[in-house]
Protein backbone atom coordinates (compact mmCIF):
# COMPACT_ATOMS: atom_id res chain seq x y z
CA UNK A 1 0.00 0.00 0.00
CA UNK A 2 1.34 3.41 -0.94
CA UNK A 3 2.07 5.88 1.90
CA UNK A 4 -0.50 8.42 0.68
CA UNK A 5 -3.29 5.88 0.83
CA UNK A 6 -2.38 5.05 4.42
CA UNK A 7 -2.81 8.72 5.35
CA UNK A 8 -6.18 8.81 3.60
CA UNK A 9 -7.42 5.78 5.53
CA UNK A 10 -6.11 7.24 8.81
CA UNK A 11 -8.05 10.43 8.08
CA UNK A 12 -11.18 8.36 7.52
CA UNK A 13 -10.63 6.58 10.81
CA UNK A 14 -10.16 9.90 12.61
CA UNK A 15 -13.41 11.21 11.10
CA UNK A 16 -11.80 13.87 8.93
CA UNK A 17 -14.28 14.16 6.10
CA UNK A 18 -12.60 16.39 3.55
CA UNK A 19 -10.86 14.89 0.53
CA UNK A 20 -9.09 16.63 -2.33
CA UNK A 21 -8.49 15.61 -5.91
CA UNK A 22 -4.96 14.52 -4.98
CA UNK A 23 -6.42 12.07 -2.44
CA UNK A 24 -8.51 10.45 -5.18
CA UNK A 25 -5.47 10.36 -7.48
CA UNK A 26 -3.52 8.52 -4.78
CA UNK A 27 -6.38 6.10 -4.28
CA UNK A 28 -6.34 5.33 -8.00
CA UNK A 29 -2.58 4.82 -7.97
CA UNK A 30 -2.93 2.35 -5.11
CA UNK A 31 -5.48 0.33 -7.11
CA UNK A 32 -3.51 0.49 -10.39
CA UNK A 33 -1.46 -2.68 -9.87
CA UNK A 34 -0.78 -3.20 -13.57
CA UNK A 35 0.56 0.25 -14.34
CA UNK A 36 3.44 -1.18 -16.37
CA UNK A 37 1.04 -3.19 -18.60
CA UNK A 38 -1.06 -0.44 -20.12
CA UNK A 39 -2.04 1.01 -16.75
CA UNK A 40 -4.13 4.03 -16.00
CA UNK A 41 -7.21 1.86 -15.89
CA UNK A 42 -8.65 -0.45 -13.27
CA UNK A 43 -11.68 -2.75 -12.99
CA UNK A 44 -14.85 -0.85 -12.10
CA UNK A 45 -15.19 -3.01 -8.97
CA UNK A 46 -12.14 -1.18 -7.58
CA UNK A 47 -14.00 2.08 -8.07
CA UNK A 48 -16.90 0.64 -6.11
CA UNK A 49 -14.48 -0.33 -3.32
CA UNK A 50 -12.95 3.15 -3.30
CA UNK A 51 -16.42 4.69 -3.01
CA UNK A 52 -17.11 2.47 -0.02
CA UNK A 53 -13.93 3.81 1.63
CA UNK A 54 -15.52 7.25 1.61
CA UNK A 55 -18.85 5.85 2.85
CA UNK A 56 -20.65 5.76 -0.48
CA UNK A 57 -21.92 2.34 -1.41
CA UNK A 58 -23.81 0.95 -4.37
CA UNK A 59 -25.09 -2.49 -5.16
CA UNK A 60 -23.55 -3.73 -8.40
CA UNK A 61 -26.79 -3.36 -10.39
CA UNK A 62 -27.42 0.12 -8.96
CA UNK A 63 -23.87 1.21 -9.85
CA UNK A 64 -24.18 -0.10 -13.41
CA UNK A 65 -27.54 1.62 -13.80
CA UNK A 66 -26.03 4.93 -12.72
CA UNK A 67 -22.82 4.40 -14.72
CA UNK A 68 -23.87 2.24 -17.69
CA UNK A 69 -20.62 2.93 -19.54
CA UNK A 70 -19.02 0.19 -17.41
CA UNK A 71 -21.46 -2.56 -18.46
CA UNK A 72 -19.46 -3.39 -21.58
CA UNK A 73 -16.11 -1.83 -20.77
CA UNK A 74 -15.38 -3.09 -17.30
CA UNK A 75 -12.28 -0.92 -16.91
CA UNK A 76 -12.21 2.59 -15.43
CA UNK A 77 -9.70 5.11 -16.72
CA UNK A 78 -7.92 7.29 -14.21
CA UNK A 79 -9.70 10.48 -15.25
CA UNK A 80 -13.10 8.78 -14.96
CA UNK A 81 -12.20 7.35 -11.54
CA UNK A 82 -11.21 10.77 -10.23
CA UNK A 83 -14.24 12.54 -11.76
CA UNK A 84 -16.69 9.99 -10.32
CA UNK A 85 -15.03 10.04 -6.91
CA UNK A 86 -15.11 13.86 -6.82
CA UNK A 87 -18.73 14.06 -8.00
CA UNK A 88 -19.99 11.40 -5.58
CA UNK A 89 -18.04 12.91 -2.69
CA UNK A 90 -19.25 16.43 -3.45
CA UNK A 91 -22.81 15.16 -3.59
CA UNK A 92 -22.33 13.43 -0.24
CA UNK A 93 -20.90 16.43 1.62
CA UNK A 94 -23.42 18.90 0.23
CA UNK A 95 -26.46 16.71 0.95
Task: List the domains of the chain with CATH numbers.
Answer: 3-94 (1.10.238)
pLDDT of residue 40: 85
pLDDT of residue 3: 61
pLDDT of residue 22: 92
Q: What is the pTM of this model?
A: 0.77
pLDDT of residue 13: 60
Which residues of the chain have a pLDDT value below 70?
Answer: 1-5, 10-17, 34-38
Phi, psi of 12 (to 5 degrees): -60, -45
First to last CA, the chain: 31
pLDDT of residue 72: 85
Amino acid sequence: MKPGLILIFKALKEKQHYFKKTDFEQMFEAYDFFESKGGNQIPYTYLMQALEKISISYEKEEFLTKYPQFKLDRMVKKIDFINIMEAEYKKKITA
